[in-house]
Amino acid sequence: MQYLNYRESRQRGTADFPLEYHHVSPSHPQYNMALHWHIEFELIRILKGSFRTLIDEQEFLAPADSFLFIPAGALHEGTPYDCEYECVVFDMNMLMNKNDSCCRLIRRIIDHEVEVTYLYQNSSQKICRTVWTLFDAVSSKKEGYQLMVLGALYQMIGAIFSEHCYDPAPPRPPRNHRRIVQLKQALEYMESSYNRQITLQEMADSIQMSPKYFCRFFQEMTHRTPVDYLNYYRIERACYQLLTTDQSITEVAYNSGFNDLSYFIKTFKKYKGTTPRRYLR
């Protein structure tokens, strides 16, 4: 799945059940997961293949039959390898309307008082079985699935504490905290400005760096140059527009920040391996 905003703030699911489910296979047009963050928590279940992910600069390789727990606010991206996976993105606050003893534990996670383990494999069978129940219920959408999902979330959190799958949060932010905050600011600037011509100087100015230092910083954090990443994001936006609107390829190109149609098509092929026409409705 590809997130179309680096920091998503849209409604997940419905107001009374804020949870969103996605099933992603290699044929999905947004197969790779771009660098992004959001205010909700996320679970990623690996059905087959493997999934390499970076979570706040920590790298993990998740094999089949494992799942990832992404904390709210964590900067993350993912690269699937012959992989099929599912994602559930949810607002943890929907679990906070029960008794105080439950809320106290959940609040420790929401407030980042503890750092929950990111990757769970076969050694964590109890927790994995609970999460599989959650995914099976939400993907089926059978009557009463909401109750099964809520029950599984409570059981998962209870198991995380009972199995001690967490660490106390450090008393002070880690050394890389400031770098992550700066990168989030740069990504937000790209998100808000991608549809117009922006310069490297402007991107660097958004986090008060020199262009030279910004290029080095950005590549260290994302393994891409700023210009390459901006073009990548523009193509993701263009792909979304092609799939959801009746605009022509030329209109989509200009609305996505490209001022040359041939360059747009060349860049589209680079990142998608095909022409934009494939995505026309």
Q: How confident is the model at residue 2 (pLDDT cuts 50, 70, 90)?
A: very low
In degrees and rounded to multiples of 5, residue 226 shows phi and psi of -60, -40
Number of structural domains, the chain? 2
For 70-83, what is each residue's pLDDT tens digit? 999 899 999 999 99
For 84-135, what is each residue's pLDDT tens digit? 999 999 999 888 876 677 888 898 999 889 999 999 998 888 899 999 999 9
Q: Same domain, yes or no, for 126 and 255?
A: no
Q: Same domain, yes or no, for 59 and 164?
A: yes
Is 2 inside any structural domain? no
Q: Where in the sequence is the domain holding 258, given as residue range(s)?
A: 177-279
Whether the Cβ atoms of residue 52 and residue 27 lie closer than 8 Å to each other? no
For 148-160, what is each residue's pLDDT tens digit? 999 999 999 999 9
Q: Same domain, yes or no, for 44 and 116?
A: yes
Mean pLDDT of all residues in 64-70: 96
Domain boundary, last residue among 168, 196, 211 = 168
Is the pLDDT assigned to residue 185 strictly greater than 70? Answer: yes
**CATH code, 200:** 1.10.10.60
Distance of alpha carbon 224 from alpha carbon 228, whole angstroms: 6
Domain boundary, last residue among 142, 168, 194 = 168
Encoded tokens for 204: 């660097």
Q: Same domain, yes or no, for 145 and 243?
A: no
**CATH code, 12:** 2.60.120.10
Q: Same domain, yes or no, for 155 and 225?
A: no
For 203-237, what is each residue's pLDDT tens digit? 999 999 999 999 999 998 888 899 999 999 999 88
Encoded tokens for 278: 């494939």
For 240-272, what is each residue's pLDDT tens digit? 888 888 999 999 999 999 999 999 999 999 888
Could you give the percent of the chain with pLDDT greater than 90? 58
Q: Same domain, yes or no, for 26 and 155?
A: yes
Q: Same domain, yes or no, for 120 and 188?
A: no
Is the pLDDT assigned to residue 11 strictly greater than 70? Answer: no
Domain boundary, last residue among 168, 199, 228 = 168
What's the number of CA atoms in the CB half-sphere (13 Å) around residue 87? Answer: 21
